[in-house]
């Protein structure tokens, strides 16, 4: 048989992963063309949870846009709060009291740990292991309790304000956080013993979903996905904001470029976040948590403003064009998962379906943030 | 072949290590709460739906009906209804409707309120299958046994009544004067005016 005839014989079929599927973390739909058990083409189809956040930013006043910040990436809402606060403080020239900045960093890092914990638990669940999720949820619940005691909410935080934070932290929170750190550090080792060392997990992750640094650059991947491919890029170090320059921490980078590397970056980041929180608690100054002169009617001067932060999934940045009125002329949100998942199409070509799901999980997507 | 055996050995090792942890956890105290019988601790800062604050001195709400909360709310879920009552300074709140189905618990209303008349409640047991159950009148919630009448300031009432009477008087005078004035030139102009009105209709 000639090669042409053979290729005509090659049968492909279409398969929908999602939008409702336990392994897709939300309403992500991936249309895959399968060649037997191998993926021929995979196309992520977005838009199932599109809510026009950018447009809302243009219709609402500056203050009214606050609750939207908790509803983009529901797992690291505080980092998103941080970005919006930073953006508007830059636009309005507000100087934030130091105590408020430290509180911001402490809460944002706690939020990052809980995000990675859920990412870890849910990832293992994607791969078929249920119990690690329960271990992760146990610790995550402690963090949610701590954050609830200061912010009043458990998931969709609306805690930051232009010029500071909504309310001050108390001694209970500080002692609670210290106790949590003490309890949590050994837990990370336990996760490594329980999960990372497991031979089944290693078989499913090592060498799976290779992402070369070039493809990461091409699609603008950030966060643990990029750092798992050997590129040391973290907004907290590369474009320092808030009080991060005063704190001593490392950026974990792995050069293996596979799913295991991305998984390990997240696990190591939890340890680094613990370090940041501990230092920030030690350095926490006294003073007010709200800048004194915040105008009631916000009207940032005409111009183009930009601010970026490192959220749990990568770089989140906002750009707004103000025309001097009380709402934005154009609000642009750059979310990390959108770029991280875009590379799925190219990277998953020729992959086994089961491997592709392990690969997709290692990107740790959060769908509402992708669709915005 | 040696790789095969190595795999078995490492596999067994990881199994033993993992099972050790599982076995240890098997004997620790469970952290699960049996919900309807036990419930988790609520924090004072927990954000439930908003509620009106009772002023401990007067036993009434502190709302001055300025409408700032209504204006600042991103979801437009607050409706403040107020009216002027004789002998009471400022406006009196007659209903404070919160549509909790669209509230995002952002806190803009609480921040916007100058007299600190609203705050977050601690209520979280709100399960219901009907949407109407989430439209609260916070004033009714604050005074479930009936909204007390606002305190009437007799001096203010007197002043107001005087003012009203004076205004009435002035209006009556004005009307009389206008009638007088109109009476003279009205007669000839009347016809034309009426026909015009008829044409229009
Ligand atoms: S802002 Fe406060 S005082 Fe004004 S209407 Fe609302 S609750 Fe009443
Ligand atoms: S908390 Fe926010 S959404 Fe809810 S009533 Fe107040 S301003 Fe409106």
Instruction: Give the SS3 label for residue B118.
Output: strand
Task: Name which residue leads in pLDDT, A296 or A158.
Answer: A158
- Mutation for testing the A interface, residue in B6, B9, B10, B14 having most A CBs under 10 Å: B14
Q: How confident is the model at residue A113 (pLDDT cuts 50, 70, 90)?
A: very high
In a domain, B91, yes or no: yes
For the stretch B123-132, contacts whose Cβ atoms lie closer than 8 Å and that sit 24 or more positions apart, written own/partner, are: B123/B48, B123/B49, B123/B51, B124/B42, B124/B46, B124/B48, B126/B48, B126/B49, B126/B100, B131/B101
DSSP assignment of A70-138 equals: TTSSTTSHHHHHHHHHHHHHHHHTPPPPHHHHHHHHHHHHHHHHHHHHHHHHHHHHHTT--HHHHHHHH
Q: Which residue of A has its CA nearest to B42?
A: A149
In a domain, B185, yes or no: no
Q: How confident is the model at residue A171 (pLDDT cuts 50, 70, 90)?
A: confident
pLDDT at B197: 43
Mutate-to-test residue for ligand 2 from B107, B111, B112, B138, highest number of ligand atoms within 8 A of CB: B107
Q: Are A181 and A277 in contact (CB under 8 A)?
A: yes
pLDDT at B184: 64
pLDDT at A112: 92
What is the C-alpha separation between B5 and B11, in angstroms, rounded?
10
What is the C-alpha separation between B49 and A39, in angstroms, rounded?
49
Tokens 């509803």 sit on residue: A71
Q: Ligand 2, residue B72: give the atom nearest the CA.
A: 7
pLDDT at A7: 55
Q: Ligand 2, residue B69: give the atom nearest the CA.
A: 7
pLDDT tens-digit readout, A200-222: 888 888 888 888 888 888 888 89
Task: Name which residue leads in pLDDT, A113 or A10.
Answer: A113
**Average pLDDT across chain B, whole number:** 80
**Average pLDDT across chain A, whole number:** 86
Mutate-to-test residue for ligand 1 from B77, B111, B117, highest number of ligand atoms within 8 A of CB: B117
Query: What's the number of domains chain B is made of?
Result: 1
- Beta-bridge partner residues of A43: A31
What is the C-alpha separation between A279 and A105, in angstroms, rounded?
10
By the 10 Å C-beta count (0-12 exposed, 13-18 middle, 19+ buried), A156 is classed as middle
Tokens of residue A304, six digits: 């183009």
Q: Is the model's pLDDT at B54 over the cut of 50?
A: yes
Q: Is the model's pLDDT at B193 over the cut of 60?
A: no
What is the C-alpha separation between A104 and A102, in angstroms, rounded?
5
Q: Is the model's pLDDT at B192 over the cut of 50?
A: no
pLDDT at B90: 77
pLDDT at B194: 44
Tokens of residue B195, six digits: 């026909």
What is the C-alpha separation between A122 and B83, in angstroms, rounded?
54
Instruction: Give the SS3 label for residue A30.
Output: strand
pTM of the entire predicted model: 0.84
Q: Is the model's pLDDT at B53 over the cut of 70?
A: yes
Q: Are A305 and A90 in contact (CB under 8 A)?
A: yes
Q: Is the model's pLDDT at A25 over the cut of 80?
A: no
Q: Is the model's pLDDT at B48 over the cut of 80?
A: yes
Q: Which domain holds residue B118?
A: 50-142
Tokens of residue B48, six digits: 């439930």
Tokens of residue B146, six digits: 């009936």
Q: Is the model's pLDDT at A1 over the cut of 70?
A: no
Domains of chain A, with CATH numbers?
A: 3-371 (1.10.645.10)
Average pLDDT over residues B98-103: 88
In a domain, B116, yes or no: yes
Nearest to B72 by CA among A276, A161, A370, A259: A161
Q: How confident is the model at residue A116 (pLDDT cuts 50, 70, 90)?
A: very high
What is the C-alpha separation between B198 and A38, in angstroms, rounded?
85
CATH number of the domain within which B127 lies: 3.30.70.3270
Alpha carbon of B104 to those of A62, A65, A75: distances in Å? 16, 11, 17
Least CB–CB distance from A67: residue in B40, B104, B111 = B104
By the 10 Å C-beta count (0-12 exposed, 13-18 middle, 19+ buried), B17 is classed as middle
pLDDT tens-digit readout, A180-202: 999 898 888 888 888 887 888 88
Q: Is the model's pLDDT at A243 over the cut of 50?
A: yes
Q: Are B19 and B85 in contact (CB under 8 A)?
A: no
Write out chain B residues lying below 8 Å of A131, CB-based.
22
Nearest to A105 by CA among A279, A340, A235: A279
Q: Are A215 and A347 in contact (CB under 8 A)?
A: yes
In a domain, B18, yes or no: no
What is the C-alpha separation between A340 and A266, in angstroms, rounded?
15
pLDDT at A8: 59
Q: Which residues contact B55 (CB under 8 A, 6 or more apart)?
A: B61, B62
Q: Are A239 and B50 in contact (CB under 8 A)?
A: no
Q: How confident is the model at residue A59 (pLDDT cuts 50, 70, 90)?
A: confident
What is the C-alpha separation between B149 and B179, in angstroms, rounded?
42
DSSP state of A195: I
In a domain, B181, yes or no: no
pLDDT at B190: 46
pLDDT at B196: 43
In a domain, B103, yes or no: yes
User: How far, in Å, from the CA of A89 to the mean position of ligand 2?
Assistant: 23
pLDDT tens-digit readout, A282-317: 988 888 888 887 777 788 888 899 999 998 888 999
In a domain, B101, yes or no: yes
In a domain, B150, yes or no: no
Interface of B with A in 100-159 (CB under 8 A): 104-108, 111, 120
Instruction: Give the SS3 label for residue B49.
Output: coil
Q: How confident is the model at residue A325 (pLDDT cuts 50, 70, 90)?
A: confident
pLDDT at A230: 87
By the 10 Å C-beta count (0-12 exposed, 13-18 middle, 19+ buried), A21 is classed as middle
Q: Is the model's pLDDT at A141 over the cut of 60?
A: yes
What is the C-alpha separation between A196 and A265, in angstroms, rounded?
12
Average pLDDT over residues B43-49: 85
Burial A302-336 (b: 16+ CB within 10 A, else e): eeebebbbbbbbbbbbbebebeeeebbeebebbbb
Q: Strands (DSSP E) along chain B, which ranges?
A: 50-52, 78-83, 92-99, 118-120, 135-137
Q: Which helix (H) or strand (E) holds A322?
A: strand A314-322
Average pLDDT over residues B137-161: 78
For the beta carbon of residue A59, count every other beta carbon within 10 angstroms. 13
Q: How confident is the model at residue B200 (pLDDT cuts 50, 70, 90)?
A: very low
Give the range among A64-68, A230-234, B21-25 with minimum mean pLDDT: B21-25
Tell me whether A178 touches chain B (CB under 8 Å).
no
Q: What is the ipTM of this complex?
A: 0.74
């Amino acid at each position: 048989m000639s090669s042409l005839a053979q290729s005509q014989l090659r049968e492909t079929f279409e398969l929908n992963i999602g939008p409702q599927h336990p392994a897709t973390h939300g309403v992500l739909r991936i249309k895959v063309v399968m060649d037997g058990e191998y993926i021929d083409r995979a196309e992520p189809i977005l838009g199932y949870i599109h809510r026009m956040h950018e447009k809302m930013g243009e219709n609402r006043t500056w203050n009214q846009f606050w609750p939207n910040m908790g509803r983009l990436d529901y797992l690291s809402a505080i980092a998103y709060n941080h970005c919006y606060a930073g953006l508007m403080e830059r636009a309005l020239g507000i100087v934030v009291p130091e105590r408020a900045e430290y509180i911001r960093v402490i809460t944002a890092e706690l939020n990052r740990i809980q995000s990675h914990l859920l990412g870890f638990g849910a990832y293992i669940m994607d791969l078929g292991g249920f119990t690690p999720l329960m271990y992760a949820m146990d610790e995550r619940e402690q963090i949610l309790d701590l954050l609830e005691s200061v912010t009043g909410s458990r998931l969709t935080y609306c805690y930051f304000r232009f010029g500071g934070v909504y309310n001050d932290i108390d001694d209970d929170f500080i002692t609670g956080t210290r106790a949590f750190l003490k309890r949590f550090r050994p837990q990370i080792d336990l996760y490594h013993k329980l999960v990372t060392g497991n031979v089944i997990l290693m078989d499913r992750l090592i060498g799976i979903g290779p992402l070369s640094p070039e493809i990461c650059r091409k699609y603008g991947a950030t966060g643990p996905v990029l750092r798992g491919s050997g590129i040391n890029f973290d907004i907290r170090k590369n474009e320092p904001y808030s009080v991060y320059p005063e704190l001593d921490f490392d950026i974990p980078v792995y050069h293996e470029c596979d799913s295991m590397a991305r998984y390990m970056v997240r696990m190591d980041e939890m340890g680094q976040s613990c370090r940041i929180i501990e230092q920030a608690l030690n350095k926490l100054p006294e003073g007010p948590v709200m800048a004194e002169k915040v105008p009631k009617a916000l009207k940032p001067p005409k111009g183009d403003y930009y601010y970026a932060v490192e959220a749990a999934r990568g770089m989140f940045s906002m750009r707004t064009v103000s025309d001097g009125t009380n709402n934005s002329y154009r609000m642009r949100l750059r979310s990390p998962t959108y770029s991280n998942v875009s590379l799925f199409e190219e990277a998953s070509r020729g992959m086994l379906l089961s491997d592709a799901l392990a690969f997709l999980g290692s990107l740790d997507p959060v769908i509402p943030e992708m669709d915005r | 072949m040696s790789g095969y055996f190595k795999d078995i050995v490492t596999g067994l090792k990881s199994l033993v290590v993992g099972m050790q942890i599982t076995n240890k956890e098997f004997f620790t105290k469970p952290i699960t709460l049996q919900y309807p019988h036990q419930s988790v601790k609520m924090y004072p800062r927990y954000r439930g739906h908003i509620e009106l604050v009772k002023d401990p001195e007067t036993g009434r709400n502190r709302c001055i009906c300025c409408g700032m909360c209504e204006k600042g709310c991103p979801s437009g879920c607050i409706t403040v209804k107020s009216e002027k009552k004789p002998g009471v300074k400022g406006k009196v709140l007659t209903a404070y409707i919160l549509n909790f189905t669209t509230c995002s618990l952002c806190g803009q209303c609480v921040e916007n309120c100058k007299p600190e008349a609203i705050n977050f409640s601690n209520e979280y047991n709100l399960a219901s299958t009907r949407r109407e159950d989430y439209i609260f009148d916070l004033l009714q919630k604050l005074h479930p046994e009936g909204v007390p009448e606002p305190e009437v300031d007799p001096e203010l009432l007197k002043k107001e009544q005087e003012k009203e009477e004076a205004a009435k008087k002035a209006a009556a005078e004005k009307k009389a004067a206008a009638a007088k004035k109109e009476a003279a030139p009205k007669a000839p102009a009347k016809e034309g005016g009426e026909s015009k009105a008829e044409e229009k209709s």
